[in-house]
Amino acid sequence: MPTTRMLIDASHPEETRVVIANGSRLEEFDVESESRKQLKGNIYLAKVTRVEPSLQACFVDYGGNRHGFLAFSEIHPDYYQIPIADREALVA
């Protein structure tokens, strides 16, 4: 059974690299630098721009001329209960 490992390279103060490997298979690779803000793992309020039922996902616009891809399986059921004020702000 393969072992999942997280490898962190922080040998350079201006950049940190993180790898998640499952056995000999690379699962994730992330780079975080001082000059570039981390986007992965943050929480954003976004507007759905297109729903793709065949992909079981949607494309979102979260401002700053940035767009994303969101799989429906990544959305926790609690988030389906959006407060009315937030819904109105998204529709505007």
Divide the 92 residues of the chain into consecutive groups of 10 and give the mean pLDDT of each group: 88 88 89 73 82 92 84 83 82 73
pLDDT for position 39: 63
Q: What single string gives the DSSP state of each residue in 5-31?
A: EEEEEEEETTEEEEEEEETTEEEEEEE
Domain with CATH 2.40.50.140 in the chain: 47-91
pLDDT for position 9: 92
Position of tokens 């993180």?
A: 18
Element at 32 (helix H, strand E): strand 25-33
pLDDT for position 51: 93
Q: Is the domain defined by 47-91 classed in CATH 2.40.50.140?
A: yes
pLDDT for position 59: 93
Q: Provide the sign of the torsion angle of the four alpha carbons 81, 85, 86, 92, taken in this order.
A: positive
pLDDT for position 52: 92
Q: Where are the alpha helices (DSSP H) in 1-92?
A: 84-91
